[in-house]
Homo-oligomer: A and B are copies of this chain.
Amino acid sequence: MSHSIAKITVLPGDYIGPEIMSAGLSVLKAVSEGEFDYQIDEQPFGGAGIDQKGDPLPQQTLESAKASDAVLLAAIGGPKWDNAPKRPERGLLAIRQDLNLFANIRPTAISQAMQKYSPIKQVAPVDFVIVRELTSGIYFGKPREIDDHHAIDTMCYTDEEIRRVAKVAFEMAEKRRQHVTLVDKANVLATSNLWRRIVEDVSADYPTITYDTKYVDATAMKIISAPEQFDVILTENMFGDILSDESAEITGSLGTIPSMSRGTTGPALYEPIHGSAPDIAGQGIANPLSMINSVALMMRHSFNRPDLADDIADSVDAVIESGIVTPDLGGGSTTDQVTSAIINKIRERR
């Protein structure tokens, strides 16, 4: 951080995006009172970027993000832009590349308070993190072509792209249960074989960490049948996309999960893992917890304020336990009621 006042770029996005962002910002305000100075710069992004500036990632939005200490994003996209020449999701892919956010970090845990929401019968203690490579692989590889008779996508990786994200995973494991699992398809893919070589090499620098590998198809099974075996899962972009959504589902509480995307330097980006939920937009019933948890994650990792992050996390847990939850978690509370309850808990703690 180069300034004394933290600079946060805020991207509310589309449909329920602005609703949950407003909840997240209220909690940020409450937790920061007398504790943390910040200023926010709100910018259009995604569908809102298309509508206001003709681009899902307008130049000014990108500049604001680059000049910030952290970026908060709610959710983007939706049917309104299905036939747009450049869809909202292109903005997401672009900001990841332009901010060099090569590591996407997704906590998958089932806390005591959340156990009952899991669709799985025997919930072993689940607490793992997926580190997904986010700026390379088949998402960005060239050639990418389509004509009437053929189409091609290219999955490519360089040693450096693998090495830097592998380090993130091993460093994370050092602060956790000391275990990294590389997930790949090394019995089929050349890129997976490069991942094996490089990650094996990186693992030598972390002698306290146990390291193993697993095929992506087997992992899709184990996430359901034996998720307790995972601590840090490291994987490439496409596999990470699929496995992290599957993992979110086994917690039964998609509407609560935040994520962090980061590079080596520069601002990190924090966002809920779910989409913009056009079906419930405007009804005031969107679950704000994923956005509020994203704010907590930001306080912990970008601003080194674990105390404030804990204030938020503990208040969220208390509110869930008291049954003040939105319809997606089987409750009858509104976005505002959940948010107010959390703010009250935070104030009680002061």
Cross-chain contact B93 with A188 (CB below 8 angstroms): yes
A245 CB within 8 Å of chain B? yes
A189 to B89, CA, bound (A): 12
Cross-chain contact A150 with B155 (CB below 8 angstroms): no
A114 CB within 8 Å of chain B? no
Contact with B along A116-127 (1 / 0, CB 8 A): 001111100000
A190/B144 contact (C-beta < 8 A), A220-B243, A246-B220 known: yes
Cross-chain contact B149 with A159 (CB below 8 angstroms): yes
Contact with B along A32-57 (1 / 0, CB 8 A): 00000000000000000000000000
A151 CB within 8 Å of chain B? yes
Cross-chain contact B224 with A146 (CB below 8 angstroms): no
| Contact among B138, B153, B242 for A217, CB-based, below 8 A | B242
A225 CB within 8 Å of chain B? yes
A104 to chain B: closest CB distance in Å? 13
A162 to chain B: closest CB distance in Å? 9
Cross-chain contact A221 with B193 (CB below 8 angstroms): no
A165 CB within 8 Å of chain B? no
Residues of B within 8 A of A221 (CB): 245-246, 248-249, 254
| Contact among B149, B153, B159, B249 for A190, CB-based, below 8 A | B153
Interface centre among A144, A150, A153, A224 (most CB of B within 10 A): A153
| Contact among B158, B225, B254 for A149, CB-based, below 8 A | B158
Contact with B along A150-172 (1 / 0, CB 8 A): 11111111110000000000000
A262 CB within 8 Å of chain B? no
| Contact among B122, B194, B246 for A146, CB-based, below 8 A | B194
The residue in chain B whose Cβ has the minimal distance to the Cβ of A141 is: B152
A329 to B331, CA, bound (A): 36
How many residues on A have C-beta within 8 angstroms of the other chain's C-beta atoms? 54
A87 to B215, CA, bound (A): 15
Residues of B within 8 A of A93 (CB): 188
A155/B155 contact (C-beta < 8 A), A248-B221, A249-B224 known: yes
Cross-chain contact A193 with B146 (CB below 8 angstroms): yes
A244 to B194, CA, bound (A): 26
A139 CB within 8 Å of chain B? yes
A75 to B167, CA, bound (A): 37
Cross-chain contact B246 with A224 (CB below 8 angstroms): yes
Residues of B within 8 A of A189 (CB): 138, 151, 153
Cross-chain contact B150 with A156 (CB below 8 angstroms): yes
A-B contact pairs, 22 of them (CB 8 A): A89-B188, A119-B120, A119-B225, A138-B138, A138-B155, A138-B188, A141-B152, A146-B193, A150-B156, A150-B157, A150-B159, A150-B194, A151-B189, A151-B193, A151-B194, A152-B190, A153-B154, A153-B189, A217-B242, A220-B243, A223-B246, A224-B246
Interface residues, chain A, with chain B CB atoms under 8 Å away: 87, 89, 93, 118-122, 138-139, 141, 144-146, 148-159, 185, 187-191, 193-194, 216-218, 220-221, 223-225, 238-239, 241-246, 248-250, 254
Q: A149-B158, A220-B242, A223-B246 are in contact. List 18 more A-B contacts (CB 8 A).
A: A89-B187, A118-B121, A119-B121, A119-B225, A138-B155, A139-B188, A146-B191, A146-B193, A151-B156, A151-B157, A151-B190, A152-B155, A153-B191, A185-B238, A218-B245, A220-B246, A221-B248, A225-B249
